[in-house]
Structure 1
C-alpha cells in the first residue's frame, strides 16, 4: 500500500527509556514537516492513531548476538517504508540503523544522548564518521567539524 502523505518520510529509532523520551520530544517538532515512522524495542509504547511504530528486538553491548536479528528487522522496515532519512538518539538499535542506512544510501542523523555529559556514548562512537549529521547536546563535546553542537535539542 502506498503512502498518501506528500511529506518526506523519516525513520525514528531508539532504545527504550531516556533515549526514547529524547527521540519523541525531538520528533514532536518535526511531525508538521515529516511523516515519521518509529521503531523501538519495546511493545509497551502505545502510538496515537497518527503514528506508525514497529517493534524490534533490543540489542546492547551485553548481547551482541542479537545484532543480526535486529539488523534484519531494520532492513525489512527500511525496504518497506523507504524513508528519506533516519534519526536516532541511541543506543545500539539506533547504531545498527545508522550503519544500514549508510549501506542503503539513506541520509542519517545521530543525536547523542543528553545523558553523556563528559564523553560521547559508546554507540555514538560507533557511528561517528558514519552518520551524515552527528549532533551532541553538550557544547564542550563538539569539535565543530564532525561532532556538531547546534544549541539545546531538548
Structure 2
C-alpha cells in the first residue's frame, strides 16, 4: 500500500500576512501543498508557481465586507471540500477564520502563526483561532501573556 502524502494548505490574507506565509513555502513544498489567499495585484503571481485559490479581498471596516465575507465563506467550503487538506497553516487575517473552522470541524490539524508585527497586543484572528488551534505560535515572547499556551520559537524571517 502506497503512503499518502500529507496535504498542506497555506492560507492568509494578502499583504504582510502573505509575506510571512511565503516564508513557509520552502518547508511546505515537501508535501502536497496549495495556497489560499486574497486576489489582488500582489498575490496573483503566486498562481503561476503554485496551486493557488483566491478569495475576495475583504476589509472588515468597509461596507463591502458584508458582501465579501459570505462569499468567502462559500469559497472556503468549496475549496476545502475539493482539496481536503490534512493540515491548515495560517498567518492570518480575517478571511482565514472560516477555512480554519471547517478544517477543525472535519478533524484536521490547524496551525496558526500570530503576526510578526504584533509585539504587545493580539490580533482579532489570533484571539478567535487560539481557542481551537492544534498549534499556536507567537513570534515575540511578550505575546505569551496574551496566549499562555502558545509556542515561542522566534520569528520566521
Q: TM-score, normalised by structure 2?
A: 0.84
Moved beyond 6 Å, runs of 4+: none
Q: How many residues align?
A: 149
Q: 1:49 to 1:61 in 2, by over 3 A?
A: closer
- 1:91 corresponds to: 93
Please list every run of 5 or more consecutive structure 1 residues that lacks an aligned counterpart in the other structure: none
**For structure 1, which segment, 62-71 or 96-105, has the greater mean C-alpha deviation from structure 2 after superposition?**
62-71
* Alpha-carbon distance between aligned partners in 1 of 2:92 and 2:66, rounded to the nearest angstrom: 15
* Alpha-carbon distance between aligned partners in 2 of 1:80 and 1:86, rounded to the nearest angstrom: 14
**For structure 1, which segment, 51-60 or 143-152, has the greater mean C-alpha deviation from structure 2 after superposition?**
143-152
Q: TM-score, normalised by structure 1?
A: 0.86
* Alpha-carbon distance between aligned partners in 2 of 1:82 and 1:121, rounded to the nearest angstrom: 27
- 123, 126, 138: which one aligns with 1:124: 126
Please list every run of 5 or more consecutive structure 2 residues that lacks an aligned counterpart in the other structure: none
- 1:100 corresponds to: 102
Query: What is the RMSD computed on CA atoms of the aligned residues?
Result: 2.1
* Contact persistence 1:95–1:124 (CA under 8 A): no
Higher helix share: 2
- 1:113 corresponds to: 115
- 1:16 corresponds to: 14
* Contact persistence 1:129–1:146 (CA under 8 A): no
1:69 positional shift: 1.4
